[in-house]
Amino acid sequence: MRVAYTNLLDSLSSTSILASSEDSSYPLTNTQDQRLTVKWHSDDATTHTVVIDLGATAACSIFAVLSHNLSTSGTVVVNGNDDIASGLTWVTSGQSSTQTITYNAGPMLTFFTPISNRYWKFTFSGQTQNGIEIGRLWLGSYLTISPSSLDDFTVTKKRDDTVVYGKNRQNYASIGNTWRAFTLTFPKTNGSMLTSIQTFYDTVGNHSSFIFCNFDSIRTYPLVDPCYCSISGDVGFSHAGRQFYTYSLDFEEDL
Protein backbone atom coordinates (compact mmCIF):
# COMPACT_ATOMS: atom_id res chain seq x y z
CA MET A 1 0.00 0.00 0.00
CA ARG A 2 1.30 3.44 -0.97
CA VAL A 3 0.15 7.01 -0.35
CA ALA A 4 1.62 10.16 -1.89
CA TYR A 5 0.53 13.17 0.09
CA THR A 6 3.10 15.91 -0.56
CA ASN A 7 3.04 17.45 -4.03
CA LEU A 8 6.17 19.57 -4.51
CA LEU A 9 4.45 21.59 -7.24
CA ASP A 10 1.79 23.03 -4.95
CA SER A 11 4.07 25.44 -3.11
CA LEU A 12 5.72 26.92 -6.22
CA SER A 13 5.11 30.44 -7.49
CA SER A 14 3.71 31.03 -10.97
CA THR A 15 7.23 31.95 -12.19
CA SER A 16 8.59 28.52 -11.22
CA ILE A 17 6.24 26.44 -13.36
CA LEU A 18 5.88 27.20 -17.07
CA ALA A 19 3.70 25.62 -19.78
CA SER A 20 4.39 25.79 -23.50
CA SER A 21 0.80 27.03 -23.87
CA GLU A 22 -2.26 27.79 -21.77
CA ASP A 23 -5.73 29.21 -22.13
CA SER A 24 -5.81 32.43 -20.11
CA SER A 25 -9.08 31.28 -18.53
CA TYR A 26 -7.54 27.92 -17.58
CA PRO A 27 -3.89 28.63 -16.67
CA LEU A 28 -1.27 26.08 -15.64
CA THR A 29 -1.52 27.26 -12.02
CA ASN A 30 -4.92 25.54 -11.93
CA THR A 31 -3.01 22.26 -11.53
CA GLN A 32 -1.90 23.52 -8.10
CA ASP A 33 -5.53 23.64 -6.94
CA GLN A 34 -6.46 20.36 -5.24
CA ARG A 35 -9.92 20.39 -6.86
CA LEU A 36 -9.76 18.19 -9.96
CA THR A 37 -12.44 20.20 -11.76
CA VAL A 38 -10.11 23.24 -11.85
CA LYS A 39 -8.02 22.43 -14.92
CA TRP A 40 -5.21 23.63 -17.12
CA HIS A 41 -6.16 23.85 -20.82
CA SER A 42 -3.49 23.97 -23.54
CA ASP A 43 -3.80 25.08 -27.15
CA ASP A 44 -4.41 22.49 -29.87
CA ALA A 45 -0.77 21.69 -30.67
CA THR A 46 0.21 18.01 -30.65
CA THR A 47 3.12 18.44 -28.21
CA HIS A 48 3.06 20.32 -24.90
CA THR A 49 5.64 20.80 -22.17
CA VAL A 50 5.62 21.90 -18.55
CA VAL A 51 8.98 22.97 -17.08
CA ILE A 52 9.38 23.16 -13.31
CA ASP A 53 11.96 24.79 -11.04
CA LEU A 54 11.67 23.35 -7.51
CA GLY A 55 14.08 26.00 -6.22
CA ALA A 56 16.40 23.36 -4.75
CA THR A 57 17.37 19.79 -5.51
CA ALA A 58 14.75 17.36 -4.23
CA ALA A 59 14.37 13.58 -4.38
CA CYS A 60 11.29 12.40 -6.26
CA SER A 61 9.86 8.88 -6.61
CA ILE A 62 6.38 9.41 -8.07
CA PHE A 63 5.00 11.34 -11.04
CA ALA A 64 1.27 11.53 -11.70
CA VAL A 65 -1.28 13.12 -14.02
CA LEU A 66 -4.82 13.31 -12.61
CA SER A 67 -8.19 14.09 -14.19
CA HIS A 68 -7.08 14.36 -17.81
CA ASN A 69 -8.34 13.98 -21.36
CA LEU A 70 -5.16 12.39 -22.70
CA SER A 71 -5.59 9.84 -25.47
CA THR A 72 -4.18 6.35 -25.87
CA SER A 73 -2.09 7.56 -28.82
CA GLY A 74 -0.20 10.03 -26.66
CA THR A 75 2.89 9.66 -24.47
CA VAL A 76 3.95 11.36 -21.26
CA VAL A 77 7.66 11.60 -20.47
CA VAL A 78 9.23 13.28 -17.44
CA ASN A 79 12.87 14.42 -17.49
CA GLY A 80 15.04 15.61 -14.62
CA ASN A 81 17.81 18.15 -15.00
CA ASP A 82 20.37 20.00 -12.88
CA ASP A 83 21.13 22.60 -15.53
CA ILE A 84 18.73 25.04 -17.16
CA ALA A 85 18.88 28.37 -18.97
CA SER A 86 17.19 31.54 -17.74
CA GLY A 87 13.45 31.81 -18.17
CA LEU A 88 13.00 28.06 -17.61
CA THR A 89 14.44 27.30 -21.05
CA TRP A 90 15.20 23.58 -21.09
CA VAL A 91 18.66 22.41 -22.08
CA THR A 92 19.71 18.80 -22.53
CA SER A 93 23.29 19.15 -21.29
CA GLY A 94 22.36 18.53 -17.66
CA GLN A 95 19.51 16.11 -18.28
CA SER A 96 20.06 13.15 -15.99
CA SER A 97 16.87 11.12 -15.77
CA THR A 98 13.91 10.04 -17.89
CA GLN A 99 10.66 8.39 -16.81
CA THR A 100 7.64 7.43 -18.91
CA ILE A 101 4.14 7.53 -17.43
CA THR A 102 1.99 4.71 -18.82
CA TYR A 103 -1.40 5.71 -20.22
CA ASN A 104 -4.50 5.03 -18.15
CA ALA A 105 -7.98 6.50 -18.48
CA GLY A 106 -7.92 7.09 -14.73
CA PRO A 107 -4.99 8.43 -12.72
CA MET A 108 -1.73 8.11 -14.65
CA LEU A 109 1.24 7.51 -12.38
CA THR A 110 4.61 5.88 -12.15
CA PHE A 111 6.77 4.88 -9.18
CA PHE A 112 10.54 4.62 -9.35
CA THR A 113 13.74 4.66 -7.29
CA PRO A 114 14.20 8.19 -5.88
CA ILE A 115 15.88 10.61 -8.28
CA SER A 116 17.24 13.99 -7.18
CA ASN A 117 16.98 17.01 -9.49
CA ARG A 118 16.05 20.66 -9.22
CA TYR A 119 14.44 21.03 -12.65
CA TRP A 120 11.83 18.76 -14.20
CA LYS A 121 9.95 18.69 -17.49
CA PHE A 122 6.69 16.96 -18.39
CA THR A 123 6.35 16.36 -22.15
CA PHE A 124 2.95 15.42 -23.58
CA SER A 125 3.16 14.31 -27.21
CA GLY A 126 0.96 12.61 -29.79
CA GLN A 127 -2.29 14.08 -28.46
CA THR A 128 -5.02 13.66 -31.11
CA GLN A 129 -7.71 15.75 -29.42
CA ASN A 130 -7.95 19.54 -29.59
CA GLY A 131 -5.53 20.34 -26.81
CA ILE A 132 -5.18 18.77 -23.39
CA GLU A 133 -7.01 19.30 -20.13
CA ILE A 134 -5.36 18.30 -16.84
CA GLY A 135 -6.59 18.74 -13.29
CA ARG A 136 -3.43 17.89 -11.36
CA LEU A 137 0.25 17.33 -12.06
CA TRP A 138 2.04 15.53 -9.23
CA LEU A 139 5.73 15.38 -8.40
CA GLY A 140 7.04 14.08 -5.08
CA SER A 141 7.68 11.02 -2.96
CA TYR A 142 5.45 8.34 -1.47
CA LEU A 143 4.99 6.41 1.76
CA THR A 144 4.79 2.60 1.73
CA ILE A 145 2.49 1.47 4.55
CA SER A 146 3.65 -1.85 5.98
CA PRO A 147 2.06 -3.90 7.36
CA SER A 148 -0.87 -2.95 5.14
CA SER A 149 -4.56 -3.83 5.08
CA LEU A 150 -3.99 -6.11 2.10
CA ASP A 151 -6.96 -8.36 2.93
CA ASP A 152 -8.89 -6.49 5.63
CA PHE A 153 -10.63 -3.67 3.80
CA THR A 154 -14.06 -2.68 2.50
CA VAL A 155 -14.92 -0.73 -0.64
CA THR A 156 -18.28 1.04 -0.80
CA LYS A 157 -19.69 2.62 -3.96
CA LYS A 158 -21.49 5.86 -3.05
CA ARG A 159 -23.72 8.31 -4.96
CA ASP A 160 -25.12 11.79 -4.38
CA ASP A 161 -28.24 11.60 -6.55
CA THR A 162 -31.06 13.84 -5.35
CA VAL A 163 -34.29 11.80 -5.35
CA VAL A 164 -37.79 12.88 -4.38
CA TYR A 165 -40.85 10.60 -4.54
CA GLY A 166 -44.36 11.87 -5.24
CA LYS A 167 -47.55 10.68 -3.59
CA ASN A 168 -47.92 7.67 -5.89
CA ARG A 169 -44.21 6.82 -5.67
CA GLN A 170 -43.25 8.69 -8.79
CA ASN A 171 -39.51 9.17 -8.93
CA TYR A 172 -38.17 12.70 -9.54
CA ALA A 173 -34.38 12.57 -9.63
CA SER A 174 -31.39 14.78 -10.33
CA ILE A 175 -28.52 12.51 -11.35
CA GLY A 176 -25.35 13.04 -9.34
CA ASN A 177 -21.93 11.39 -9.19
CA THR A 178 -20.50 8.13 -7.95
CA TRP A 179 -17.35 7.60 -5.93
CA ARG A 180 -15.64 5.02 -3.75
CA ALA A 181 -15.20 4.91 0.00
CA PHE A 182 -12.52 2.71 1.58
CA THR A 183 -12.46 1.37 5.13
CA LEU A 184 -9.02 -0.07 5.87
CA THR A 185 -8.09 -2.02 9.00
CA PHE A 186 -4.41 -2.48 9.81
CA PRO A 187 -2.68 -5.20 11.87
CA LYS A 188 -0.35 -4.61 14.81
CA THR A 189 2.07 -1.79 14.00
CA ASN A 190 4.80 -0.06 15.99
CA GLY A 191 7.99 1.95 15.69
CA SER A 192 8.76 4.22 12.76
CA MET A 193 5.74 3.12 10.72
CA LEU A 194 3.37 4.19 13.47
CA THR A 195 5.14 7.56 13.54
CA SER A 196 4.83 7.83 9.74
CA ILE A 197 1.08 7.20 9.91
CA GLN A 198 0.68 9.95 12.50
CA THR A 199 2.74 12.34 10.37
CA PHE A 200 0.60 11.46 7.34
CA TYR A 201 -2.62 12.20 9.24
CA ASP A 202 -1.25 15.37 10.86
CA THR A 203 -0.25 16.65 7.41
CA VAL A 204 -3.42 15.96 5.40
CA GLY A 205 -6.07 15.89 8.15
CA ASN A 206 -9.51 15.82 6.57
CA HIS A 207 -8.66 18.84 4.42
CA SER A 208 -6.10 17.74 1.83
CA SER A 209 -6.35 15.26 -1.02
CA PHE A 210 -3.69 12.66 -1.77
CA ILE A 211 -2.98 9.67 -4.02
CA PHE A 212 -3.87 6.25 -2.60
CA CYS A 213 -2.74 2.95 -4.15
CA ASN A 214 -3.97 -0.07 -2.21
CA PHE A 215 -2.07 -2.54 -4.40
CA ASP A 216 0.92 -0.32 -5.20
CA SER A 217 1.29 -0.11 -9.00
CA ILE A 218 -1.19 -2.88 -9.95
CA ARG A 219 -3.91 -1.58 -12.31
CA THR A 220 -5.89 -4.76 -13.10
CA TYR A 221 -8.55 -4.48 -10.36
CA PRO A 222 -10.88 -1.54 -11.17
CA LEU A 223 -12.67 -1.64 -7.81
CA VAL A 224 -9.41 -0.82 -6.01
CA ASP A 225 -7.70 1.16 -8.78
CA PRO A 226 -5.43 3.95 -7.49
CA CYS A 227 -7.42 7.04 -6.63
CA TYR A 228 -7.27 10.65 -5.50
CA CYS A 229 -8.95 10.86 -2.11
CA SER A 230 -9.16 12.35 1.39
CA ILE A 231 -9.29 10.95 4.91
CA SER A 232 -12.82 10.86 6.29
CA GLY A 233 -13.06 11.26 10.06
CA ASP A 234 -10.59 10.57 12.84
CA VAL A 235 -7.91 7.91 13.27
CA GLY A 236 -8.03 5.81 16.44
CA PHE A 237 -5.14 3.66 17.66
CA SER A 238 -5.92 0.60 19.85
CA HIS A 239 -3.11 -0.72 21.99
CA ALA A 240 -2.45 -4.42 21.30
CA GLY A 241 0.40 -4.97 23.79
CA ARG A 242 4.11 -4.12 23.94
CA GLN A 243 3.49 -0.75 22.25
CA PHE A 244 1.99 -2.32 19.14
CA TYR A 245 -1.23 -0.70 17.92
CA THR A 246 -4.01 -1.59 15.51
CA TYR A 247 -5.82 1.20 13.68
CA SER A 248 -8.26 1.98 10.87
CA LEU A 249 -8.34 4.58 8.11
CA ASP A 250 -11.37 5.75 6.14
CA PHE A 251 -10.79 7.30 2.71
CA GLU A 252 -13.30 8.78 0.26
CA GLU A 253 -12.52 9.42 -3.38
CA ASP A 254 -12.41 13.08 -4.51
CA LEU A 255 -13.82 13.95 -7.91
pLDDT digits (tens), the chain, 255 positions: 999 999 999 999 999 999 999 999 999 999 999 999 999 999 988 899 999 999 999 999 999 999 999 989 889 999 999 888 777 888 888 788 899 999 999 999 999 999 999 999 999 998 877 889 999 999 999 999 999 998 899 999 999 999 999 999 999 999 999 999 999 999 999 999 999 999 999 999 999 999 999 999 999 999 999 999 999 999 999 999 999 999 999 999 999
- Considering the domain architecture, whether residues 68 and 90 belong to the same structural domain is answered as yes
What is the spatial distance between Cα 75 and Cα 122, in angstroms, rounded to a whole number?
10
14 part of a folded domain: yes
- Considering the domain architecture, whether residues 133 and 207 belong to the same structural domain is answered as no
- Considering the domain architecture, whether residues 75 and 130 belong to the same structural domain is answered as yes
Strands (DSSP E) contained in 129-236 are 133-140, 143-144, 153-159, 162-165, 171-174, 178-189, 210-213, 227-231
- Among the three residues 111, 142, 173, which one is the final residue of a domain in this structure? 142
Domain that holds residue 97: 2-142
What is the spatial distance between Cα 205 and Cα 33, in angstroms, rounded to a whole number?
17
- Considering the domain architecture, whether residues 109 and 231 belong to the same structural domain is answered as no
148 part of a folded domain: no
213 part of a folded domain: yes
Whole-number pLDDT of residue 95: 83
Strands 95-101 and 133-140, sheet pairing? unpaired
- Considering the domain architecture, whether residues 136 and 157 belong to the same structural domain is answered as no
- Among the three residues 77, 112, 142, which one is the final residue of a domain in this structure? 142
- Considering the domain architecture, whether residues 234 and 135 belong to the same structural domain is answered as no
147 part of a folded domain: no
242 part of a folded domain: yes
Whole-number pLDDT of residue 103: 94
Helices and strands in the chain: count of H runs, count of E runs: 1, 19
- Considering the domain architecture, whether residues 39 and 136 belong to the same structural domain is answered as yes
